[in-house]
Chain A
Amino acid sequence: MAVSTAGEIPVRVADAEQSCGSGRVLAILSEVESMLTRLADSGTCGSIDLRNLLAGPGDRETLRRILAEGEVSAVVRALGETQVHETAVRGVWWVTHCAEDGKTVAEFIEVTHVPEILKTPPDDIADGLEVLFAKRHALDG
């Protein structure tokens, strides 16, 4: 077939359903299941770093589709946005850390009651107190 423009190059986007990645997705799901069992039995939290696990095109989409959206979503704005979603599997959270330009820098599945990033660290609470003190001081004149 003669091709004269870039648009004519036949490109087929890999199909997530049929990609060879299904084995990888199944392996992640089975690890999530063990972690969720531990959380239910003993309260032990777990975390899976997705960086090296979703290697194939379509893996991420497949895993997201299977876990689906749950009841809670939150956005943390610290050095760029961090998106925190509880999946439809309660206790299983999808945490995506992005930089300020929106690029993903790390991605985790956290099996926990509340992801750490949503809790305020003690140092930041101390900062909060200072800020509040300064605001009140300004009002007092």
Chain B
Amino acid sequence: MSKDDSIEVSLRKQGISRRAFMKFCAATASLLALPPAMAAVIAETLGRARRPSVIYLSYQECTGCGESLTRSFSPTLENLMFNVMSLDYYETLQAAAGTAAEAARHTAMKENWGKYLLVVDGAIPRGHDGAYCTIAGESAVDILTGAAKGAAAVISVGTCAAFGGIPHASPDPTGAVPVSQVIKDKPVINISGCPPVPEVITGVLAHYLTFGSIPELDHLGRPKVFYGDTIHDRCYRRPYYDAGKFAKTFDDEGARNGWCLFELGCKGPITYNACATVKWNQGTSYPIQSGHGCLGCSEPDFWDKGSFYQALSTGTWSGGTVLGAAVVAGAAIGVGAAVVSRRRQARADRKKQP
């Protein structure tokens, strides 16, 4: 497979029929919440495009995000996704090690200067001049800064890269910061979540490959197509919330009847993510469907905001004091929390506009 082949030519060389490619495009359009008719447009654009070089850097992370990425779609479609990109450097998956691996990164950067996608997972430790994370004698801060210079776009995968995540949690011994605090001269796309929903990661890559541009972002740099709604906005338990029917313990009658988990600490009303629609494990379920409240893992500082099992109305999360005032009972809670969440987003969006 030559690097100069268009995506369509390289797929045909692998014996993938046009019909199979169209199926992949239909699945991609669905993932990006585009109208089904857009599958043909995706096929047209993706088919003509050259395979972009992707450089994937990992710093203070648990590899959960990489695990998530490699489980997006099922094996065949996932392979197809990897086939439409040229993953030139990724420590977790590459066979090369040591100087050979570093040489591969330098070569890919040189050959694709200004055009490659830079994907980063993990927070960046800045304490003690970056001494907490070095690779081949270079600090994470320096490698990231150098690699970002030639990148067409920078994508932070996971809450650690997007907002600092657990490495940044109190007492933050290494001075961990998100990618956006190191790279200031170009837009950084944040795909938050601990880990992010796999299809959201590939969806953002597919969007970039298809349209050649970064998707519309929210006030925290997250693609609106996946982070435009709260978990609560799309939660199937929502009618119970609006009716004021809440589980009080994990094994009471309400829990067994599938009532709302707000009082058990669900952070769905202020958490923007795609779990309620895209779901996990190839669309099987998501935490709330399995009986546990949302932890708010795609929001900044979710780790430091108090117990996962305390209701939002107790005021430990930002905006909680406003929510607290709305807590009377039943429907009052429902309407109050949702309105606060939407206003917060609308205010932030307004602020962002020039």
Interchain nearest-CB distance for A80 vs B (Å): 6
Does A51 belong to the interface (CB within 8 Å)? yes
| Interface contact A82-B236, CB-CB below 8 Å | no
Which residues of chain B have C-beta atoms less than 8 A from A99's C-beta? 73-77
CB distance B73 to A121 under 8 Å? no
A123 touches which one: B18, B24, B76, B240 (CB < 8 A)? B18
Please, which residues of chain B bring their CB within 8 A of the CB of A47?
35-37
B75 neighbours in A (Cβ, 8 Å): 99-101
Bound state CA distance, A22 and B96, in angstroms? 54
**B278:A51 contact, CB within 8 angstroms:** yes
Residue B152 lies at the interface, judged by CB distance under 8 Å to chain A: no
Q: In the assembled complex, which residues on chain B have CB atoms less than 8 Å from the CB atom of A4?
A: none
Q: Please tell me if the beta carbons of B20 and A49 are within 8 angstroms of each other in the complex.
A: no
Closest-CB distance, A141 to chain B (whole angstroms): 26
- Residue among A10, A82, A106 with the highest chain B CB neighbour number at 10 A: A106
Which A41-61 residues have a C-beta within 8 angstroms of B?
47-49, 51-52, 55-57
Contact B27 A105, beta carbon cutoff 8 Å: yes
A104 at the interface (CB under 8 A from B): yes
A79 touches B24 (CB 8 A): yes
Q: Which residue of B lies closest to A119 (CB)?
A: B19
The answer, yes or no, to whether A26 is at the interface (CB within 8 Å) is no
Main secondary structure on chain B at its contact with chain A?
helix
Tell me the residues in window 117-134 of chain A with beta carbons closer than 8 Å to chain B beta carbons.
Answer: 117, 120-124, 127
**Interface assignment of B92: CB less than 8 Å from any CB of chain A:** no
CA distance A6 to B245 in the complex (A): 27
Is A68 in the interface zone, CB < 8 Å from B?
A: no
> Would you give the shortest CB distance from A64 to chain B, in whole angstroms?
16
Residues of A in contact, count (CB < 8 Å):
40
Give 1 or 0 for each of B182-208: 1 = CB within 8 Å of chain A CB. 000000000000000000000000000
Residue in B12, B27, B278 whose CB lies within 8 Å of A97: B27
Which B residues are in CB contact (< 8 Å) with A137? none
Most A Cβ at <10 Å: residue of B36, B251, B276, B282: B36
The minimal Cβ–Cβ distance linking B308 to chain A, given in whole angstroms, is 21
Q: A57-B236, A105-B77 are in contact. Are A78 and B26 (CB under 8 A)?
A: no
Are the C-beta atoms of B22 and A117 separated by less than 8 Å?
yes
Digitize B26-38: 1 where CB-to-A-CB distance is under 8 Å, 0 elsewhere: 1101110101110
Task: Please give me the 9 A-B residue pairs with the lowest Cβ-Cβ distance, nearest first.
Answer: A99-B74, A78-B20, A56-B236, A47-B36, A123-B18, A103-B282, A20-B239, A106-B27, A121-B18
Q: Which residues of A contact B (CB under 8 A)?
A: 9-12, 14, 20-21, 47-49, 51-52, 55-57, 76, 78-80, 82, 97-108, 116-117, 120-124, 127
Other than the given A101-B76, A123-B12, 17 more pairs (CB < 8 A) read A20-B236, A20-B239, A51-B283, A55-B234, A55-B276, A56-B236, A57-B289, A97-B27, A99-B76, A103-B74, A103-B283, A105-B74, A116-B22, A117-B23, A117-B26, A122-B18, A124-B19
